[in-house]
Structure 1
Amino acid sequence: MSRLPDAVRRMFDVIVAAAGIVLVSPVMAAAALLIRLRLGSGVLFRQDRVGLGGRPFTLLKFRTMHHAEADRDGPEHDADRLTAFGRCLRATSVDELPSLWNLLRGDVTLVGPRPLPVHYWDRYRGQEYRRFEVKPGITGLAQVSGRNLVDWPDRLALDVQYVRERSLVGDVRILLRTVPMVLTGAGVSHGSAVTMHALPVDRPGA
């Protein structure tokens, strides 16, 4: 298989990441200051995610929640910890801007399956592990198909579909579909939750 498409993707990733960091640095600086003032110390949210070939890396985002107390940790308490300011950061995708550093470093690419937490590794079934045959992406087929409104079985199936049908033309189409979703904040919330529900531990074979 030709390596040219991957070389083109990497070149484009570096250009977009470098230009993006320069262009949005005032926005990131303002967001960091407001997070420090409104949410306290610890501006960045860091979490280990799984990348290409199952290798872990640390994903960077802006923090949007108050720090969890010992008895109020987990997705079920997210609504209590997420502030109106944090909701605004998420709706506008400003919380994702630090991920440009991951893009520049090569941890992620512009388009691919979204990187998921390391502790999900044993929860995938069968063909779902194919999502790790490519780099994770800042946006992807599942995101432009409904973002957090897409339930897990469909979301993972869309990731596998992307891997099977992956092409530069397809990536461009996904990027074009991403723009209106970011501008409108579509699909950020999932039902009554403020984040996507966790991938269930006990799942039937896929």
Structure 2
Amino acid sequence: MILKSVFDRTMALVGLLCLWPVLLVIWMLICIKMPGGSAFFKQKRVGSNGRLFTMYKFRSMTMHHSGSSISVAGESRITPLGAVLRKYKFDELPELWNVLIGDMSLVGPRPDVPGYADCLRGEFRDMLKLKPGITGPASLKYRNEEELLAKVKDPKRYNDEVIFPDKVRINRNYLHNWCFWLDVKIIVYTILGKNLEEEFLK
């Protein structure tokens, strides 16, 4: 996977150099519209082989809240500006820095908070061999995850019993079918807002 690593870091550097004006504007908007705290959100996430790392995102929630790690569309802790950032995935742009320094990949499973990785048993722990990614096949399928969770009675239970196991299955499939052009395809599909073929997700 040397090619994957070189591609990731090169594209992350290019992305940061090209998008710095966008990053600056978002940073300024957060400082103006969401004062009283940092424009960035930092949190420990589980990386490859279970190693913890600090993930960086733009802040999209109020500073002081006691919500769970499961986000649902329409929550009061998500600010109006934050809702826009989350809808178009602009809040995830700082993760390009995580890719550049080697904590993440452009494509891979989304990094979970500590606790979920501990639930993985047997062959399902294969998923931890992958670097977490900004996008991935499971991310494409569940791009509207927050809206989906808003429609169910118990979002956390639905996530734990339905979405999380399905994501693990899809990401293991990605691991065992990985090739460089698959990553390119996933990135293009992410930009276009398309899903992967259903046969890959089965």
Task: Normalising by structure 2, report the TM-score.
Answer: 0.80
Partner residue, 1:201 = none
1:24-77 Cα offsets, whole Å, 9 max, x none, are: 1111111111111111221111111111111110000000010124xx432578
- Which one of 96, 105, 124 corresponds to residue 109 of structure 1? 105
Partner residue, 1:23 = 18
Partner residue, 2:141 = 145
Shift in alpha-carbon separation, 1:124–1:76, aligned structure 2, 3 A: closer
Is 1:173–2:185 an aligned residue pair? yes
Partner residue, 1:48 = 44
Partner residue, 1:158 = 170
In structure 2, runs of 5+ residues without a counterpart are 149-161, 196-202
Tell me, what secondary structure is at the counterpart of 1:118?
Answer: coil
Shift in alpha-carbon separation, 1:68–1:125, aligned structure 2, 3 A: farther
Tell me, what secondary structure is at the counterpart of 2:56?
Answer: strand
- List, as ranges, runs of 4+ consecutive aligned residues in structure 1 with deviation greater than 3 Å: 75-78
Distance 1:81 1:9 in 2: 37
Segment of structure 1 superposing worse, 144-153 or 131-140: 144-153
Shift in alpha-carbon separation, 1:56–1:175, aligned structure 2, 3 A: same
Shift in alpha-carbon separation, 1:36–1:15, aligned structure 2, 3 A: same
1:126-146 Cα offsets, whole Å, 9 max, x none, are: 322111112111111101223
Segment of structure 1 superposing worse, 22-31 or 172-181: 172-181
Distance 1:55 1:155 in 2: 20
In structure 1, runs of 5+ residues without a counterpart are 1-5, 187-206
Task: Normalising by structure 1, report the TM-score.
Answer: 0.78
Segment of structure 1 superposing worse, 30-39 or 121-130: 121-130
